[in-house]
Structure 1
Amino acid sequence: EAAVLALENNNTPHRWTVEELKEIRLAALADLRALKKLEAA
């Protein structure tokens, strides 16, 4: 049954767009800056 479900489900990996990756990167950098600011305080 698990094999059938695996075939029926959409298992294609998500293809990230350049825009999505840039947004994720900017969000991560902002979080990092906030953490460093907290650490310095």
Structure 2
Amino acid sequence: MDATPGDGGSPERRFGVRETVTWSLAVALPVLAGYFLLAGLIPGG
């Protein structure tokens, strides 16, 4: 990742929207799953 701010290049355009969505889901799904799991295991959480 050599993306630097102010270089005039759009991170979304350079990295690709498809890859951005894929990595976003890959990160968000486990986090949400863990959150709901902890919320279900911890009373009042």
Question: 2:24: which partner in 1?
Answer: 24
CA RMSD of aligned residues (A): 1.7
Structure 2: runs of 5 or more not aligned? 1-5
Tell me which stretches of 4 or more aligned residues in structure 1 moved more than 3 Å: none
Structure 1 unaligned runs (5+)? Answer: 1-8
TM-score (norm 1): 0.57
Identity rate of aligned residues, in percent? 18
**Secondary structure in 2 matching 1:11:** coil
Q: How does 1:1-40 map to 2 (within 5 A)?
A: 9-14=6-11, 15=13, 16-17=15-16, 18-40=18-40
Which residue of the partner structure matches residue 3 of structure 2? none
Relative contact order: is structure 1 or structure 2 higher (C-alpha 8 Å, sep ≥ 6)?
Answer: 2
